[in-house]
Chains A and B, each alone.
Chain A
Amino acid sequence: MIMIFGIPGPLLFGQLLLGLINGAFYAMLSLGLAVIFGMLNIINFAHGALFMMGAFAAWMLLNYFDIGYFPALILAPLLVGAFGIFLEKTIISRLYKLDHLYGLLLTFGLSLVIEGLFRNGYGSSGMPYRIPSLLQGATDLGFMFMPNYRGWVVLAAFVVCTATWLIIEKTSLGATLRAATENAPLVQAFGVNVPRLITLTYGGGIALAAFAGVLAAPIYSVNPNMGSNFINTVFAVVVIGGMGSILGSIVTGFGLGVIEGLTKVFYPQASATVVFVVMVIILLTRPRGLFGKAA
């Protein structure tokens, strides 16, 4: 066994992989948040709850409709995204004229309602969701032991994040989106239906969260608290990466996941706080975040 810094090779690489996986979730969730914040200027506190809904949607599809994992990867984001669009049309759109803080408060309230309802309906101990048989088992890579499903998660997350980044930065749709963020009335004057664009963007951000939820379902129990467990760390990630920066959220998400993983090897008790410590350091040295625009 190779020993690095006194830690066995399989252990270190195993932790790095796990860090990447965690990072994948951070990246996807903060990406959704960044997209929504960039376009709508709303801090979507309900993101964690909608992530949880994605996992529940996958679970419900399996248990009530016998629809398996791979179709659920598409269906669940669509369903929850549609729910997100419904939310946007009825509730969120009323916030645009108000101070940003009200957006935070409203979505916070929304997260309480969603989580409370699910907790009432489904209890807190979580429900099992099996890893699809195609992805079960593990591969022995020699220097480490990798469960196939976890490898798949990193791959899928990476693909989705890259695709999103490409769409926003490199396509004309993305350009229109970015323009609408800068100056909505002007873009509307060009004939673009800006409100619909905004609605679809919100739905898209939510769908990203739901997709992450489906990916998470086999790894964690599907339980109503899974969103709130993530959301606070994800906010720190967003602050570190720079609010509203797509690239920032992706890079920081993966990066912080790796840092957290390494902390777990060397000093496990601090693994929950290390993200916040990094955030404090960033705040002291570069307040706008690693990739953010100056305030």
Chain B
Amino acid sequence: MFGFSRPQFIAFLAMLALIIVCPFVVYPVFLMRVLCMALFACAFNLMIGYVGLLSFGHAAYFGMGGYVTAWTMKVWHLDASIAILLGGVTGGVLGLCLGYLAIRRSGIYFAMITLALAQMVYFFCLEAPFTGGEDGIQQVPRGHLFGFIDLSNDMTMYAMVACVFLGGFLLIHRIIHSPFGQVLKGIRENEPRATSLGYRTDDYKLIAFVLSTSLTGIAGGTKALVFGIATLTDVNSSTSGEIVLTTLLGGLGTVFGPVMGSVVMVSMENYLAQFGAWVTVTQGVIFMFCVLAFRRGIIGEIGNYLKLKL
């Protein structure tokens, strides 16, 4: 179903059960953060795990999506669903423009170019009046969903965020297990061969990029609504680095890896925030450890141990 294998389906059900049960024992705002990050990581994973391109500046789309959603909610008082969709559209359009430039190269070059382009977006956000610069866009109302569901209640908001996450998650999964996804995997494995078969690989990569950035924009917009704030942190390079770490830690190219990664990362940040710069050091250490000895990531290692593809 949905292209899940049997063990994956069981894992999916487990995840679904956790999503439903957790808000009653765990602080919902924390969970909402996890879910937004998880969606971000899943969208990011689409690029690195299935297309094989490391985008080192994905925060640009996350942050811009957040800004647009925040601004439209605060100034135009749109419906929450439309605001979030606009965030996604922003991510997509930006992804189209920047992706068009970046796709010309691959591998490390692609990573560095995306990083530099994201820096440009960061500086733009710094200067542009609507983003509020250092202060960000604050006091964003949660508003209403579909006109009648009031989102200021944490539990109702959580339900919406969970639906957005699940929708995005399943959409990504569907993309991967479609003919389009097969072509992407082919491109990742051997691009010249794919080209020789007649596929316009650049177009495929660009489309995948736009899909990835659109979903990232949705994640960013949702997060802006949850916390009522959109700031420069969401577009800066350390957020880009964090999402790479999150996905790497969880397991690149796995289905549930990004979700697991964000659970661990957000929990760790939550716990370590009281210790100041140790967050940065710990993130660095985990990064290095993962690259050297733990490349499959948590879910990857588990999958390897259980001889499953998770």
Contact = CB atoms under 8 A, between A and B. Distances in A.
B278 A120 contact: yes
B28 interface: no
B200 interface: no
B292 A104 contact: no
Given A110-B284, A112-B283, A295-B109, A102 B116 contact: no
Interface residues of A, number: 41
A116 B280 contact: yes
Given A273-B123, A280-B117, A104 B111 contact: yes
B287 interface: yes
B278 A232 contact: no
Interface SS majority for chain A? helix
10 tightest Cβ-Cβ pairs between the two chains A and B = A109-B287, A112-B284, A113-B284, A116-B280, A116-B281, A276-B120, A109-B288, A106-B291, A119-B277, A109-B284
A91 B56 CA distance: 22
A269 interface: yes
Q: How many B residues touch the partner, as a band?
A: 35 or more
A43 B108 contact: yes
Contacts of A116: 277-281, 283-284
A186 B288 CA distance: 32
Given A43-B112, A283-B102, 5 more contacts: A110-B288, A120-B276, A238-B112, A283-B104, A283-B105
A284 B97 CA distance: 12
A260 interface: no
Nearest to A105: B291
Interface in B97-138: 101-102, 104-105, 107-109, 111-113, 115-117, 119-120, 123-124, 127
Contacts of A235: 112, 115-116
B88 to A, nearest CB: 24
Interface of B: 54, 56, 101-102, 104-105, 107-109, 111-113, 115-117, 119-120, 123-124, 127, 237, 241, 244-245, 248, 276-281, 283-288, 290-292, 295
B109 A101 contact: no
B241 A112 contact: yes
A91 B288 contact: yes
Contacts of B279: 116
A94 B281 contact: no
A219 interface: no
Nearest to A94: B292
Contacts of B115: 232, 235
A100 B280 contact: no
A279 interface: yes
Given A101-B108, A120-B281, A295-B109, A113 B116 contact: no
Contacts of B124: 273
Contacts of A98: 291, 295
Contacts of B105: 283, 287, 295
A259 to B, nearest CB: 15
Contacts of A287: 104-105
B281 A112 contact: yes
A103 B281 CA distance: 18
